Amino acid sequence: MHQRHPLPTGPARHTVARGSATLAALAALTLATAGLITSAPAAHAAPVPAAAPAHGTGFAPDTTDQVQYAQDDVYAAGDLGYLHRRANADGSPGPYTWHAYDGTEQTLASYGGALPGQYGYYGNGSDTLLTSPQYSGGQAQLRNTATGATVDVTVPDGQYVAAAFGSTVITQEYNDVWQIARLHLLHVTDTGEITSDIPVDPPSDQFFPKDQAVLAGDGTSALVRFRHATAIGLLDLSTGALTSISTHATDDDPVYLQAALSPTHIAVYHEGASQARVVRRDDPTGAQTAVNVPQSTTGTAFIGLTGEWLLTTYRPPAGTTPGPGGPLLATPLSGGTPLTLLPSAGPQIAQIPAGGAIAVGEAADGTWTAHVITTAPNGRPTAQPL
């Protein structure tokens, strides 16, 4: 289960140092659909690696005893690259590093997100990174990974940062007893100016939880928790429209909900359940598909999506010594036997907004490296090392 951290009495109010460079290339983000930003310059917009033939979809032998393991945590993925933190040779934590799909890298001094199962996780999915602390007031700092430039956004008084997806900053407004009264969508320009502030109220039969309101997102939508785990919300980042999606959760604690957002589907899973629920993104209140989630006695299942497949890795209990984990599996949404994409993998799956995902695990030669998970032309999933 989640390693749950207590919520502070109230959000800390910090001021983030202003970056020296303006975000002149925030236009490089892939959020043109919001009407705020143009596409990235071609020099930076390296495409997500194409899917390989289907023969790369699995491994027969288990070579865990030969794996060259190094702890490598994946925090976020965008259409241009992914954010990870690989341990140094001596095992100490390495720097936050943005690895572009063209092979170039940027080192970050800080990052405002967290890993699945940790307090503050929000499933970031874009090429903009929130580098200021979550739940801070005063200012939010965004980093454009296409250029490495940063921009500061002055957050309205009484609002606290919850997440950032491209040109949209999601904030939380608290009431007198530090409950989330509503969310806000702040639309920002490439210089950090707020062009609109859209308040988002919960449905009349729900309210937002006190912690970890944002589950996942990309440049156009976000998935948010409610206080009751019976539903999650699909939030349109342009208009603020909020659509409730039933979860069929096995209990009422929303902190154990997971969700994944792909260009075509939404998956929601309550940890410990035998099935995830999947619905088409263009019909979120329509018919749901129940997909079996393979279970493990050594870890909690963590889900993702690629094409018509549900991805599963396994997160070990809190306090477990890092090491090669369970396999990365892919289960067809239509039902059937799961495929093993990697014989051993880390516990994180980061969704790529344009489709596919990033996961770290054992390559065929025993190296421990990031893989891009996509679907081949025949529709089968494949894991290719980056």
pLDDT tens digits for range 144-171: 999 889 999 999 999 999 999 999 999 9
Exposure class string for 41-63: b at 16+ Cβ within 10 A, else e: eeebbbebeebeebebbbbeeeb
- Please say if the pLDDT value at position 56 is more than 80: no
Q: Tokens 């199962």 — which residue?
A: 117
As given in the structure block, the two tokens for residue 192 are: 């950090």
Q: Give the pLDDT mean for 346-375.
A: 96
Look at residues 320, 330, 322, 370 and name the one whose alpha carbon lies nearest to residue 350. 370
User: Which residues are within 8 A (CB) of 259 and not within 5 positions of it... i.e. 6 or more apart?
Assistant: 123, 215, 216, 223, 232, 266, 267, 268, 269
Give residue 65's pLDDT band: very low, low, confident or very high (50, 70, 90). low
CA-derived radius of gyration, the chain: 20
- Please say if the pLDDT value at position 9 is more than 60: no
DSSP, collapsed to helix, strand or coil, labels residue 292 as: strand
**pLDDT at 211 (0 to 100):** 75
Q: Tell me if 86 sits within 8 A of 72, measured CB to CB.
A: yes
DSSP, collapsed to helix, strand or coil, labels residue 371 as: strand
In whole angstroms, give the CA distance from residue 1 to residue 259.
15
Whole-angstrom CA distances from 233 to 28, 35, 187, 279 are: 28, 23, 20, 13
Look at residues 294, 224, 276, 318 and name the one whose alpha carbon lies nearest to residue 1. 318
Q: pLDDT digit string (tens) for 298-310? A: 899 999 999 999 9
Task: Report which residue type is found at 305.
Answer: L
pTM, full prediction:
0.83
Look at residues 94, 97, 98, 53 and name the one whose alpha carbon lies nearest to residue 80. 98
As given in the structure block, the two tokens for residue 332 are: 């067809």
Inter-residue long-range contacts of 281-290, CB under 8 Å, 24+ positions, other chains counted: 281/221, 284/234, 284/243, 284/245, 285/243, 285/244, 285/245, 288/246, 288/248, 289/333, 289/334, 290/248
